[in-house]
Amino acid sequence: MSSTGRYAASAQQFSSTRTKNNPMVHVDGNNQTSVDACTNAARSSDWPVLPWARGPLSAAVISALQRPPGTFGPTPPISGIDALSDDDFSLALYLCYEVHYRAVTDAGWEWDPGLLTFRAELERAFVERLRDEVVDPRSRFPYEVVSALDELIRAAPGPSLSRYLLESGTLDQLREFCMHRSAYQLKEADPHTFGIPRLTGEAKAAMVEIQFEEYGSGVAAAMHSHLFGETMNALGLDPSYGSYVEVLPAATLATVNLVSMFALHRRWRGALVGHLAVFEMTSVEPMARYSRALARFGIGPEGRRFYDVHVTADERHAVIARDRMVAGLIRAEPELSADLLFGAAAVLMLEQRFASHLLDAWANNRSSLVSRDQRAR
């Protein structure tokens, strides 16, 4: 149980590594694979283990990933679901993207036509819902792009997770928060790096300058993804890649799916730049608060370093992102203005939904993670 006695959120309870030697889930009876074969497939990857399916969409992907590429087979229809809040949908899309980062099982799945076709169907539904939620920023802020971006960030509504965690969060809530963020921060910078070959001139140079520091300026132990692992260690969490995916809700997975979608499509390069700009321009104050929240619970400098480096680095990154990356892209490709602002507005909207999900759960004395019952659906 948590120290508050309200809910449990311990690394031991939620890490999927604890199921390392258990049988994998199989949903589609025609394509069942033996437990031994599944376990071996999972062991050949960087992932600790594939998550449990949450419904037919994620089951189709999880089942396929345990077979050889080229065997994707028929897929269930994507209808009647909310692509921003459905756990099954979000996990399915998340796993489709993961094959581009780390080999979940067989690396041949990365360019498997069946998986890519299914991913495209999921993406169509995802984009449709994003378009529903994001009011065209050009109509709200009809200024030139950099000013519109400033205004979009300034006007972003909603509660502050970092302020809550600093002022009244519990240690268990702080640990839960880091479990959620591990989905992105253990691969921090990797999605945006896909954008580098798709940019030119000033925008490309600015993105590379930011990314170089995200990767520790050439020092592996200073890579931001590594520093986040140190924070997880300091909190007694499992820093293994993919450890907590099985307990992450749609509200979290959607935030990572957004950047993966922008990253993996050249046509979304403007949105990817808008996304990175928001990250860099909204980081300094929350990062300082998270560091102070960790200090409240006696977490030392090593465990806080991830947040502390962002306070200094992102002060500069914000300027590089705004004045050179965004401005440079719009000078080179002004037709990408609307996409850039769409990417910025979409990340702000999904981050708001993420914060609300966590704060609502905590206000009701619940865990914000996916429960065992939901996973076993």
**Residues forming the site for Fe ion (CB under 5 A):** 214, 224, 280, 314, 317
Q: And the tokens for 224?
A: 């931001």
Distance (Å, whole) CA 71 – CA 76: 15
Instruction: Give, in order, the Cα–Cα distances in Å from 95 to each of 10, 298, 374.
Output: 24, 36, 18
Work out how close the CB of 286 gets to Fe ion at its nearest, in angstroms, rounded to a whole number. 12
Query: Within 13 Å, how many C-alpha atoms sit on residue 168's CB side?
Result: 5
Work out how close the CB of 189 gets to Fe ion at its nearest, in angstroms, rounded to a whole number. 6
Please identify, using beta-carbon distances, which residue of 172 and 214 lies nearer to Fe ion: 214
Query: Within 13 Å, how many C-alpha atoms sit on residue 105's CB side?
Result: 23
Please identify, using beta-carbon distances, which residue of 45 and 255 lies nearer to Fe ion: 255
Q: Alpha-carbon dihedral of residues 272, 276, 277, 281, nearest 10 degrees? A: 160
Please identify, using beta-carbon distances, which residue of 57 and 206 lies nearer to Fe ion: 206
Please identify, using beta-carbon distances, which residue of 176 and 280 lies nearer to Fe ion: 280
Work out how close the CB of 14 gets to Fe ion at its nearest, in angstroms, rounded to a whole number. 25
Please identify, using beta-carbon distances, which residue of 50 and 287 lies nearer to Fe ion: 287
The dihedral through the CA atoms of 131, 132, 133, 134 has a sign that is positive
Please identify, using beta-carbon distances, which residue of 109 and 306 lies nearer to Fe ion: 306
* DSSP state string for 312-341: HHHHHHHHIIIIIIIHHHHHH-GGGHHHHH
Q: Are 225 and 185 in contact (CB under 8 A)?
A: yes
Work out how close the CB of 128 gets to Fe ion at its nearest, in angstroms, rounded to a whole number. 31
Work out how close the CB of 312 gets to Fe ion at its nearest, in angstroms, rounded to a whole number. 10
Residue among 183, 174, 214 at smallest CA distance from 304: 174
Q: And the tokens for 41?
A: 């497939």
Work out how close the CB of 308 gets to Fe ion at its nearest, in angstroms, rounded to a whole number. 12
